[in-house]
């Protein structure tokens, strides 16, 4: 019958527990950082969009079209 090496088992279990504890602290920090970055990017795009709309003054933001915005919405056929 084969004998198990108890030191190897203890080392493996200890390493697994250390990994789980480390991930417990690292994953929430990463999620918070990622969320803050995505929110900052979203707000930057929203501010840029708002400034483009305020500069349009009744025109579309398209530099090619330069058409006035429609005043009435046509019903779908």
Residue 69 belongs to a domain: no
Residue 17 belongs to a domain: yes
How many structural domains is the chain composed of? 1
Query: pLDDT tens digits, residue range 29-61?
Result: 999 999 999 998 888 888 877 666 555 455 555
Residue 60 belongs to a domain: no
SS (H, E, C) the chain: CCCCCHHHHHHHHHHHHHHHHHHHHHHHHHHHHHHHHHHHHHHHHHHHHHHHHHHHCCECCCCCCCCECCCCCCCCC
- Structure-model confidence comparison of residues 7 and 1, the more confident one: 7
Residue 61 belongs to a domain: no
Residue 6 belongs to a domain: yes
Residue 72 belongs to a domain: no
Instruction: Give the pLDDT confidence score for residue 34 in this predicted structure.
Output: 94
Query: pLDDT tens digits, residue range 2-37?
Result: 666 788 889 999 999 999 999 999 999 999 999 999
Residue 31 belongs to a domain: yes
Residue 52 belongs to a domain: no
Tell me which residue range forms the domain holding 1: 1-47
Instruction: Give the pLDDT confidence score for residue 52 in this predicted structure.
Output: 61
> ∠41-44-45 over CA atoms, to 5°?
90
């Amino acid at each position: 019958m084969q004998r198990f090496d108890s030191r190897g088992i203890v080392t493996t279990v200890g390493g697994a527990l250390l990994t789980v504890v480390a991930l417990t602290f690292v994953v929430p920090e990463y999620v918070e950082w990622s969320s803050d970055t995505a929110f900052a990017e979203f707000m930057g795009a929203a501010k840029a969009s708002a400034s483009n709309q305020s500069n349009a003054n009744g025109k579309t933001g398209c530099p090619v079209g330069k058409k006035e915005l429609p005043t009435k919405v046509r019903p779908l056929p």
